[in-house]
């Protein structure tokens, strides 16, 4: 029976991959509507023929990898669960120590290492494709360094989460999901607080903006937006990518305004100020806190659903998978599988909310800078640097895009009537 489940799961994954390939490469329509051709929205007005071809090819491949990677992860969790691999990891951990914390660390290490190895081919494929299209500028050794940092940061975070989670499952068998939700709130806030000053510097060097005149202008904008920032930081992303970006992250005293050096090198001052105004719009409209509230609400629903589904699933199949009970660490792949599926299912909703917030931030940037030209040119530059599709397929938009499409963003600015 287990072999049948495994065979069916693999066949289903392959059929899904074929269907997504056909959709993205043959059926999806990414052309700009006839009424918008020749306008600022039309990529033919700011990309040459080769760039147009590359943006379509690269976007299709990148989108296909996205739709393949998530169910590939589900397949991994399902197979190690039904073949008893997870139970074997737990048995190794139990034989190593009598202390729960140490057993948890050992089990999670083997699971994380196996996941890293299994997911590595897709990650490496994504890296090589990005290199071939000259989006990534990173060396293989630099990329591997980041992957290893990812591994240990994820492992450390997961160790804390899983150790506490399974303690709660043992302590509160029927209401563990509620206790976990209660502890998740302060933990999420703590992670947001330390992200800019502890985690981000592990990957890149951050230093005060060298262009002091530009920094003064950005800080003046920040002061108008009541953002508690004394410095603007730049980060050396040119060693990794040709893409452009800027952001404001962190909360409270750890809030940071950050510009990628690629953005500083390739955009005009007016375009940079427009992008920074957009990022400040998120702060002004309290999008971070609204997002946190939504995350907290969805997490409560998600944990409750996960608890119910795990309970039923393991009651029916646990013995076949050598998972004795829900509080066994070997049940973790079931937890990760269910939560991943739920997150994916919720992504159209969360992305829709995010797109609304991004649109609001665009409006704030237009009103603050009163510079439509800079806004249009900055989005055109972002499209060109990232080889992005201006009008992506519908499924790509709802499952991948936390921002409005470039067609929507440029069209909005182009048609926006400035205050006189």
Q: Which residues are catalytic?
A: 279
Per the DSSP assignment, residues forming a β-bridge with 221 are none
Nearest 10 degrees: CA dihedral of 238, 243, 249, 254?
0
Q: Is 32 helix (H, G, I), strand (E, B) or coil?
A: coil
Rounded distance between C-alpha atoms, residue 32 and residue 34, angstroms: 6
Nearest 10 degrees: CA dihedral of 14, 134, 379, 207?
110
Helix H or strand E encompassing 302: helix 287-317
378 close to 271: Cβ distance less than 8 angstroms: yes
The DSSP secondary-structure symbol of 241 reads: B
256 close to 219: Cβ distance less than 8 angstroms: no
394 close to 348: Cβ distance less than 8 angstroms: no
Rounded distance between C-alpha atoms, residue 85 and residue 88, angstroms: 5
Rounded distance between C-alpha atoms, residue 66 and residue 62, angstroms: 6
Rounded distance between C-alpha atoms, residue 353 and residue 291, angstroms: 9
Rounded distance between C-alpha atoms, residue 282 and residue 100, angstroms: 43
Helix H or strand E encompassing 101: helix 100-132
**Dihedrals phi, psi of 55, to nearest 5 degrees:** -65, -40
- Residue 134's contacts (CB-CB under 8 Å, 6 or more residues apart) are 242
């Amino acid at each position: 029976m287990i072999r049948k489940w495994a065979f069916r799961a693999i066949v289903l994954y392959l059929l899904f991959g074929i269907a997504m390939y056909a959709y993205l490469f043959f059926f999806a329509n990414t052309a700009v509507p006839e009424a918008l051709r020749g306008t600022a929205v039309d990529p033919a007005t700011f990309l040459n023929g080769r760039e147009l071809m590359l943006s379509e090819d690269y976007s299709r491949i990148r989108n296909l990898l996205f739709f393949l990677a998530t169910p590939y992860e589900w397949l991994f969790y399902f197979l190690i669960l039904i073949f008893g691999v997870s139970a074997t990891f737990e048995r190794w951990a139990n034989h190593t120590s009598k202390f729960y914390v140490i057993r948890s660390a050992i089990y999670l290490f083997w699971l994380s290492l196996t996941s890293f190895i299994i997911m590595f081919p897709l990650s490496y494929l994504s890296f090589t494709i990005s290199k071939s299209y000259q989006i990534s500028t990173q060396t293989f050794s630099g990329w591997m360094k980041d992957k290893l940092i990812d591994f240990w940061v994820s492992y450390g975070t997961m160790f804390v989460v899983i150790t506490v989670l399974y303690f709660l499952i043992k302590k509160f068998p029927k209401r563990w999901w509620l206790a976990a939700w209660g502890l998740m709130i302060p933990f999420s806030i703590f992670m947001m607080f330390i992200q800019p000053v502890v985690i981000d510097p592990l990957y890149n060097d951050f230093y005060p903006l060298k262009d002091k005149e530009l920094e003064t202008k950005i800080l003046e904008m920040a002061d108008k937006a009541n953002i508690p920032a004394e410095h603007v930081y730049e980060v050396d992303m040119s060693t990794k990518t040709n893409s452009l970006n800027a952001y404001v992250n962190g909360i409270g005293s750890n809030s940071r305004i950050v510009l990628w050096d690629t953005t500083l090198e390739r955009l005009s001052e007016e375009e940079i100020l427009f992008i920074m105004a957009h990022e400040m719009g998120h702060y002004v409209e309290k999008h971070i806190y609204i997002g946190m509230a939504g995350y907290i609400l969805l997490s409560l629903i998600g944990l409750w659903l996960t608890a119910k589904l795990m309970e039923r699933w393991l009651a029916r199949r646990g013995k076949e998978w050598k998972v004795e009970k829900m509080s066994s660490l070997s049940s973790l792949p079931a937890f990760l599988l269910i939560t991943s599926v739920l997150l994916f299912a919720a992504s159209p909703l969360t992305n829709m909310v995010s797109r609304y917030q991004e649109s609001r931030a665009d409006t704030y940037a237009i009103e603050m800078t009163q510079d439509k030209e800079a806004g249009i040119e900055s989005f055109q530059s972002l499209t060109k640097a990232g080889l992005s599709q201006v009008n992506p397929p519908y499924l790509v938009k709802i499952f991948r895009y936390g921002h409005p499409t470039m067609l929507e963003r440029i069209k909005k600015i182009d048609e926006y009537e400035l205050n006189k």
